Chains A and B, each alone.
Chain A
Amino acid sequence: MITFIKEMLASLQSGAVADAAIGFFDLSFILFIISTICYLTFLLRRKNGIWLVGFSSLCVGIATMTTALILRWIAAGWEHPPWSNLYESLVFFSWGLIISYVVVELRYRVKVVGAFIVPIVMIAMGIASLSGNKDITPLMPALQSLWLHFHVFSAAIGYAMFIVAFGFAILFLFRDKLPMPWFHAASAAFNVLAIIAVTRGQVFLMRFPLIKGVVQGGHVYKSRVPGTDPVQFHEVEIQGMGLFMLIILALFVVSGVISFLAAKNGEGKSERNSFFAFLFPVILFFLALAQLSAKSGDLPGFFLSLNIYSFALLAFSWFFSVVSVMLHVGGESLREHLPEAKVLDKLTYKSIMVAFPILFFVIVSGAIWANEAWGRYWGWDPKETASLVTWIVYLIYLHMRITKGWMGRPTAYIAIIGFASVVFTYLGVNLVISGLHSYATG
């Protein structure tokens, strides 16, 4: 029987298996979109039916994704596990995140937290489908090591648990009655930063960086850091949107200020004002994004051509906006549905408790590997340094938690900063700063 299967697999061309794998990935991506919609709606209407659809599509998604990963492994001839370039690493990370989340949900029965995890899975899969090279690439010499398996596998699980902790931390702040305007102010600030960063400061010109090779007639822009290798950005300019985008940016700034003042003053009415001041530009922003894809002309779809880090920034600003709106609309009834703040705080702590030693193992295994490959266990490579920053941030979390008076909200803020640090370590370093880990840029 086993030999038969082996023969059958051998008879299949590895190309066909790889294509099947990508088909399964796309299927799971669709399932995760459904699940995201369900979990976000569940914030507003806590009907078990909605949750069930979301959760079951999540479970089916795990099955299809596992199949896809195994198929890909087969297609690579069992030579290397499916986590050796950016595409594979993102897909594998999404898989780890989903598994960790399902385990946590089944164990602790906090369904709402899915609204903070599943969209991130969707974003990760989206970035994966944008990353240029989906082919199975042979392993370059530096990656041919047993440590690759342990290092990347544990990184996926560790990062996943940090993100689960982030979800709990946000819910904790919400349950702890942190004034909603703070959420609006934070999202508005993030949106402002994202708009400025994606257009690289030239909001009015509406120039967007694209994946290499999408546009022939686009501009080529080089990095201006002297003494470093020039990085080429290919970009597209979208006409006639500049003023609209500038207005949205200004509205977000105004909303941020109003929310900040409202948060300082507290009380009902100013809270509502800050919500509407925030909602208005959010809606305009979504309209603008839709308009952008309509106006992008000969591009094969605006978002599908964006450079990965711009996509990630826009996706995260979408995520934060939707979540802050949903939390506000969910309001008091959602708050009462949640477990007590103390329990949510404990769950944040427990997730970090799992992730922290794993991150330490990731760093140490990386050091052992580097010592075998390059003759030094630590070289202040940007990736190594960023992972150290993440580790220190969670060290701060752990020390604050046992310090009187710093438990609760301050620790939750640190868990959120830790999330930003994880995203920076995982994506930011690969995409923006080049270094020894740059083979993972795909």
Chain B
Amino acid sequence: MALCAVAGIKKRIWRFFLAQIHRMCYSRPVFHLFARVSSMTTMEKSGSKKNTWLDFLSGNRLAIYTLIALAFLTLIGAIIPQRGPGLTEHQYHTLVESGGLWAFANRLGLLDIFWSPWFIGTFVILILNMVLCTWIRFKRVLKSRTPKDLVPNDALMNTMRFKIPFNTKKSVEGAVRQLIRIRNEKSENGVTWLYSESGDSRRFGAIVTHIGILVAAVGALLGIVLGVNGVMMIGEGEAEDQVHYSVGNSGFSLPFSVRCDDFTVEYYEDDNLPKMFRSDLTFVPKDGSAPQQQTVEVNKPGKFGKYRFFQSTYGTFPAQVTIKIRGSDDNKLLATVKATPNRPMKLPGDAGMFALADVSPNQFNSGLAVLVVEGLENADPTEFWIFQDNADFDKSRGGRFIYELADMNQGSSYTGLQVAWNPGVNIVWLGSGLTMLGILLAFFVRHRRILVRIEGDRVMIGGRHSLGAEESLEFVNEFVKKLGKQSTDR
């Protein structure tokens, strides 16, 4: 009972809401600026109220309004840098935390407009409109008659856009049959009707286009929901199975590991411009089956399992320094730390922090050295050099810890791969193909009809061309001219 009441209220709210939109679209002067002829005509035609709603929701006007809104939203997305394609995660967070206008824009969803409720809402309305419109058109096309069902008569003649009546002593019928393929004919009471039609597949143009866009949208949705897309950085000679999403911090692991055997950059001979980036990869499945080698280049992706691998970037990992830390009192090894320069590390026993502020290959002519900055609890930070060739050097400093530079490996180069699996991509291509087909059908197939009425000497030729009045006129005139040449004397 309560549920019923809730449903009733909901329905009422919904109706009120719809009525407001309806009023806005039909009676606000703002919209009349565009709509010179009031759309009341469509309302009157369809009688009952229910139908009017369907007319509006499936109509051209709603399509145009939503398209205008969509164009504006998309334009914003082209101008304001967007999270992901225009702004990296770091840039995005800096901007948003900087407050002011950027934070406000973010609140409105302008920095991620294609995932904002504005964009998605508008798009959903457009899809709804398209589905309804296509369904109605489809029903109409199913109902409409094929040339065989048409009865050639005066009523049909009246639907022709342009008509030429003339008298002739010549025999026209044979010539007409030679010139056009007759799809339907009738002969009664001394009147002969000949009907020809070509290009009626044009009627499917709009339907196929719309279905194509819907199919592509389904494919896109499938890709968004099921597909994965991320990056992995693999050092030369190393193997990796973790993929990081480009937005957010999470990722996933692959059911196999990818080893980068070699990464190569080739340059053009005379310029110093890169010609080719290539990664030699080995895919090693975790279930123990045979590994597989592949080469990935820009524009030449590799594929293993369902995932595709794209050469996207490359770079060098930062250098890594191995530091041994001993206690100064008993010279006992407390920790072996692998540190990257400029990144603070914890000292053993929560005694404080230290960082490597500088790396020098030949400091004071004494070989490889690093500059250590030590920050003990309750003490001012101190900085000092330690040397690889002189392990005992730091003992003389007399600090709480003794640092020893044990090893340093230069940063190795890595390859940056884009990893993608998109189950919807072929559906998107199918949809695009259908859309293209539909556009071509609607634009370039010309739906042409010719109806010839012959009654003794009196001939009437009517024609209709899908492009419009001028083309109909041209089409019929052309036909009559050809007919004059073809006709033979009786």
- Chain A positions within 8 Å of B, measured between CB atoms, are 137-138, 140-142, 144-145, 225-228, 342-343, 346, 353, 356-357, 360-361, 364, 367-368, 371-382, 385-386, 388-389, 392-393, 395-396, 399-400, 402-406, 410, 429, 433, 435-436
Contacts and interface: CB of A to CB of B under 8 A. Distances in A.
Given A393-B71, A399-B60, A140 B470 contact: no
A396 B308 CA distance: 37
B64 interface: yes
Contacts of B268: 138
B299 A372 contact: yes
A402 B137 CA distance: 14
B79 A433 contact: yes
B425 interface: yes
A406 B34 contact: yes
A249 B67 CA distance: 35
A346 B468 contact: yes
B381 interface: no
B432 interface: yes
B428 A377 contact: yes
A353 B467 CA distance: 11
Contacts of A389: 71, 74-75, 78
B205 to A, nearest CB: 11
B120 to A, nearest CB: 14
Interface residues of B, number: 68
A375 B443 contact: no
Given A142-B299, A435-B86, A405 B273 contact: no
A399 B67 contact: yes
A404 B37 contact: yes
B91 A375 contact: no
Nearest to A145: B299
Nearest to B68: A396
A376 B424 CA distance: 11
**Residue from B35, B37, B75, B301 whose CB has the most chain A CB atoms within 10 Å:** B75
Contact of B37 (A141, A375, A405): A405
A137 B270 CA distance: 11
Contact of A385 (B74, B92, B418, B443): B74
Contacts of B92: 227
B435 interface: yes
B271 interface: yes
B248 interface: no
A368 B429 contact: yes
30 contacts: A138-B268, A138-B273, A140-B273, A141-B297, A145-B299, A226-B95, A227-B95, A346-B468, A357-B440, A360-B432, A360-B435, A360-B436, A360-B439, A364-B432, A364-B436, A373-B310, A374-B418, A375-B418, A376-B420, A382-B78, A382-B79, A385-B74, A386-B75, A392-B67, A396-B64, A396-B67, A399-B60, A399-B63, A399-B67, A405-B36
A375 B440 contact: no
Contacts of A405: 35-39
Interface in B406-421: 418-420
Do most interface residues of chain A lie in helix, strand or loop, or is the interface mixed?
A: helix
Interface in B287-323: 297-301, 308, 310-312
A381 B85 contact: yes
B87 interface: yes
A395 B67 CA distance: 8
User: Across chains A and B, which 9 residue pairs bring their CB atoms closest together, nearest first?
Assistant: A405-B37, A375-B420, A141-B298, A227-B91, A385-B78, A375-B310, A375-B418, A392-B71, A138-B268
B425 A141 contact: no
Contacts of A435: 85-86
A144 B299 contact: yes
A260 to B, nearest CB: 16
Contacts of B470: 342-343, 346
Interface stretch (B195-203, B274-282, B365-373, B384-392): B274-282
B274 A141 contact: yes
B93 to A, nearest CB: 9
B98 A226 contact: yes
B34 A141 contact: no
Contacts of B39: 405
A42 B199 CA distance: 41
A381 B81 CA distance: 9
A356 B209 CA distance: 13
B201 to A, nearest CB: 16
Contacts of A141: 274-277, 297-299, 311
Interface string B13-43: 0000000000000000000001111110100
B229 interface: yes
